[in-house]
């Protein structure tokens, strides 16, 4: 618990750093989180979204270039990871037929890590997601 708290603190601090220094290089904290996130991605997500985030036409949406993935609605992203996704919704102009797995067992840090990985890989670029944000989001998800 202490560990998680400590880590979130680091992540919060680093996120402040990232937003202030708007450079193109990946910040060390985000890099560390992405590295951990990649491992989770390969285990939990790759089968469907593919190793390079390109997805499967009409079955599993691409994550590279996806507006939701790169967007600011972090609550929505956390909900998708925890709950999975089984609705018939339009994603960037296309529909997808598969069901996405739920991941209720991932910790706040693991969810932040995997989100940082998909939000900053394959040409995507987006702000850091912190474990604190995930924790706050989780309380709003039924």
Partner 1 sequence: MKKMFLIFLLTSLSFVSNANDSTKVNITNQAVADADNAGLTLPSGFGALIAADNLGRARHIVATKQGGIYVKLERLVGGKGIVYLTDANKDGKMEIETSFGNYIGTGIAIKDNYLYASSNEDVFRYQLDENGKVTNPNNPQRIVKGLWDKRQHASKSIALDNAGNIYVNIGAPSNSCQEVDRTKGSKGMYPCPILDSAGGIWQFKIDQTDQGYHNGVRYATGLRNVVGLDWNQQQNKLYVTMHGRDMLYTLYPDMFDTTVSAELPSETMYAINKGDDAGWPYVYYDHFQKKKVLSPEYGGDGKKAGGEKAIDPIVAFPAHMAPNALLFYTGNQFPAKYKNGAFVAFHGSWNRSPLPQEGYYVVFIPFENGKPSGQWEVFANGFSGTEMVKNPRDAKHRPCGLTEGPDGSLYISDDVKGTIYRIVYNAK
Contacts (CB under 8 A) with partner 1, residues 87-126: 88, 97-103, 105
Please, which residue, 87 or 139, has the CB nearer to ligand HEC?
Answer: 87
Q: What angle do CA 106, 78, 53 make, to 5 degrees?
A: 85
- Distance set, CA 96 to CA 15, 20, 26, 105 (Å): 33, 37, 32, 25
Which of ligand HEC, partner 1, none binds 50 (CB below 5-8 Å, type-dependent)?
Answer: partner 1
H or E element that contains 91: strand 90-91
Contacts (CB under 6 A) with ligand HEC, residues 68-97: 68-69, 77, 80-81, 85-87, 89, 91, 96
Backbone angles phi, psi at 25, to 5 degrees: -75, 145
CA distance 23 to 122: 18
The residue ranges that bind ligand HEC (CB under 6 A) are 44-45, 47-49, 60-61, 63, 66, 68-69, 77, 80-81, 85-87, 89, 91, 96, 98, 100-101, 103, 114, 118
The residue ranges that bind partner 1 (CB under 8 A) are 42-44, 46-48, 50-52, 54-60, 62, 84, 86, 88, 97-103, 105
């Amino acid at each position: 618990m202490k560990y998680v708290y400590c880590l979130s603190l680091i992540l919060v601090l680093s996120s402040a750093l990232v937003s202030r220094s708007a450079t193109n290089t990946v910040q060390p904290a985000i890099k560390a989180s992405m590295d951990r996130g990649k491992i989770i991605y390969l285990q939990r997500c790759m089968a469907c979204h593919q190793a390079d985030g390109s997805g499967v036409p009409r079955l599993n949406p691409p994550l590279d270039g996806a507006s939701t993935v790169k967007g600011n609605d972090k609550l929505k992203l956390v909900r998708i990871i925890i709950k999975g996704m089984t609705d018939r919704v339009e994603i960037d102009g296309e529909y997808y037929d598969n069901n996405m797995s739920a991941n209720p067992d991932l910790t706040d840090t693991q969810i932040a890590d995997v989100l940082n990985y998909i939000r900053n890989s394959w040409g995507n670029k987006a702000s850091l997601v912190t474990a604190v944000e995930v924790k706050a989001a989780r309380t709003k998800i039924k």
